[in-house]
Structure 1
Amino acid sequence: MDKKSKITMTDVAREAGVSQATVSLILNNAQSIKLSEETRQRVIAAAQRLGYKKIPAPHKPEGQEEIAVLINAMPSYDPFVDALSQARDAAWRYDALLTIYDYGDDNELALRIIRQLEQRRCAGIILASPITSAIDFSVFENCTPLPLVLLNVYDHAYPLQPTFLPDDYANALQMTRHLIENGATRIAHITGDDWMDASHQRLAGYKAALEKSGLPFDQQLVVKTNWQIDETLRATRQVMQLPTPPDAIFCASDWMTLGCYQALAQLNIQVPQQVMVAGYDDQRIADQLTPKLTSVQLPYTELGRMAVEYLCQGEDNATRVTMAGKLKIRGSTQR
């Protein structure tokens, strides 16, 4: 164990010339007993000199700062809610309040909200969307002196803008690899709307996994849809009626797998015995289907926390984070 990890509150008390009880109150941000700012600063400085690891963010007596999330639609239930929950918790740890504004994809309304935020104690703004999508960031460029980061949205024309995204390519690659490792040799991929970058990234990850495994890419096994259940039902029937049907189907969202399951039931095809089925984004329904659905849990909890920490820690260096999710293996791919 290194020296820093052995530092205790007793050591900090000795260094600062105060009691251990005083150190405990300050390092635990206790609000019930008022201590002088000079004492608090002396204890914090002593803890920093000794390398004490659990130094809290200071509570500001003049009132809490605000972290504002401007979101272009408010989801009722969606995995992106996890990002908001973690962002709220991270903001609280920095003695800030997370506020959420639904601007309905109306950029003028978003700019009005930003102008109001400039009049308050706002530490920064997070532009977000429940759907990974491109935005026109030029609308917001230089619109405010407040720090601004992007969460689940991006603009390739602004590579230096702090951005936090799930890695659709890596997620699709690991899902396709999982199907191959479980014996699949002909994997169909039912995609969402073609205009979305996320659809292209997931398709690219699917193709890369096939190539790395030495399996041929068959264009007939890729069917584009508009994310709707009836479209997925049609696409599933289409690929299952090929002369050589697939032995696995990878849908670009969990919602789409409802149509896939329905089509396979109509065709009297068993999951996973005759064909494996996998989804994407690990929505609540994944654990409620029969059989339970294998999916990819997107890293929204980590991304939401990181976006807030970036603002609260006063970072001034640009960053672009793309993070892979976690494979959640369930009955739909376990033969």
Structure 2
Amino acid sequence: MKKKEKITMNDIAREAGVSQATVSLILNNSQSIKLSDETRQRVISTAQKLGYKKIPSPHQMEGQEEIAVLVNGMPGYDPFVDAFNQARDAAWRNSTLLTIYDYGNDDELAIHIIRQLEQRRCTGIILAAPITSAINFAPFENCTRIPLVLLNVYDRNYPMVPTFLPNDYANALQITRHLIAQGAKRIAHITGDRWMDASQHRLEGYKAALSTAGLTCDPELVIHTNWQLNESYRATCQLMQSSQPPDAIFCSSDWIALGCYQALASLQINIPQEVMVAGYDDQRYTSQLTPELTSVQLPYAELGRLAVEYLCEGEDAATQVTMTGKLMVRQSTQR
């Protein structure tokens, strides 16, 4: 039986009535030379008819629209990466590419990137950061006519700018309520930096849950740190060696919870039998700790998707979306 001959670009060129160079440019998705849409379609249709295998996806054709994410610092692995993944998928479902630029908290660089985006078919811009924080939106107010939304950042002075945020207050509220439901009476809270709004909102949610349950908020049970492992280690030792140690500790991040775990191990205090521990962020390693760590899974994936869909649908109304995360109850709070 004679083996079927391989279809070449020369075969396609003869059938389509164009040069082999033209076929090569189109099938390699080159944008270096302007070719008519009719010629591109004729070459691709001919290639399909002849059974040529390496035909570019329709998404790769000239003029592809994009949505740009300008992020203030790129995390290695962080739950915030989920926002990028869902944003990318949502953009692709809307025949749009998602491009990501790290502007490193340099507003001048960010505005330069936006100027470049104005020269392309940019559907919208997402200004983002991996840590929920307030920003100064003033430099961006009139810098572009491209629709712009905020993801995980906000400026209270610009309520008309569409903003998508996790609800730190509500998340801390549900963690603390869970600890109370498990029987905890003296719940400590190890926070991050005082100046960060995220730290303050989590502290407020913690206090509100105690107040609703009729429990006193003892100032000695609240210790501020700078998010460092050694700081949370020290804070935990201070709490557990006091005259009235806590029976539960709510850590303002999973990283802080790691330092807490180390301190309790060095003090030979069992989790959760002697003290319950809860984290925040639901990092990947939380289910690999011993015991597995209870934490809050932040809604970054959903927020990233919503931000992209807002831009793709051409919405122009102001919107302020805040979403509560999902409490992931594990062994560290189950007695």
TM interval, short-chain normalised? 0.7 to 0.9
What is the Cα deviation at residue 63 of structure 1? Answer: 2.7
2:41 match: none
What is the Cα deviation at residue 116 of structure 1? Answer: 0.2
- 1:292 matched to 2:292? The reply is yes
Task: Count residues with an aligned counterpart.
Answer: 281
Secondary structure, aligned partner of 2:254: coil
Secondary structure, aligned partner of 1:98: strand
2:253 match: 253
- 1:265 matched to 2:269? The reply is no
- 1:77 matched to 2:77? The reply is yes
2:139 match: 139
For 1:158 and 1:203, how far apart are their aligned partners in 2? 25
2:51 match: none
Secondary structure, aligned partner of 2:204: helix
2:172 match: 172
Gaps of 5+ in 1: 1-32, 35-57
Secondary structure, aligned partner of 1:255: helix
CA deviations 1:180-239 (Å, max 9, x no partner) are 000000000000000100000000000000011111110000000000000001100111
- In the TM superposition, 1:96-245 aligns within 5 A as 96-245=96-245
CA deviations 1:63-116 (Å, max 9, x no partner) are 321000000101110000000000000000100000000111111110000000
Secondary structure, aligned partner of 1:120: coil
CA deviations 1:102-138 (Å, max 9, x no partner) are 1111111100000000000000000000111111100
Q: 1:123·1:311 contact (CA, 8 Å) conserved in 2?
A: yes
% same residue: 74
Secondary structure, aligned partner of 2:209: helix
For 2:159 and 2:218, how far apart are their aligned partners in 1? 34
In the superposition, the TM-score normalised over structure 1's length comes to 0.82
Q: RMSD across aligned C-alpha pairs, in angstroms? A: 1.6
CA deviations 1:285-332 (Å, max 9, x no partner) are 211110000000000010000000000000010000010000000110
What is the Cα deviation at residue 266 of structure 1? Answer: 1.1
Q: 1:286·1:292 contact (CA, 8 Å) conserved in 2?
A: yes
In the superposition, the TM-score normalised over structure 2's length comes to 0.82
Shift >4 Å, 4+ stretches: 58-62
For 1:330 and 1:65, how far apart are their aligned partners in 2? 43
Secondary structure, aligned partner of 1:277: strand
2:39 match: none
Query: Which structure: larger Rg?
Result: 2
For 1:244 and 1:204, how far apart are their aligned partners in 2? 23
Gaps of 5+ in 2: 1-43, 46-57
For 1:169 and 1:110, how far apart are their aligned partners in 2? 30
Q: 1:60·1:95 contact (CA, 8 Å) conserved in 2?
A: no
Secondary structure, aligned partner of 2:255: coil
Give the aligned residue type for 1:256: I
What is the Cα deviation at residue 62 of structure 1? Answer: 5.5
Give the aligned residue type for 2:168: D
For 1:208 and 1:332, how far apart are their aligned partners in 2? 23
Q: 1:64·1:97 contact (CA, 8 Å) conserved in 2?
A: yes
Give the aligned residue type for 2:331: G
1:7 match: none
CA deviations 1:217-264 (Å, max 9, x no partner) are 100000000000000011001111221110000000001111101111
Give the aligned residue type for 1:228: Q
What is the Cα deviation at residue 159 of structure 1? Answer: 1.2
1:86 match: 86
Secondary structure, aligned partner of 2:131: strand
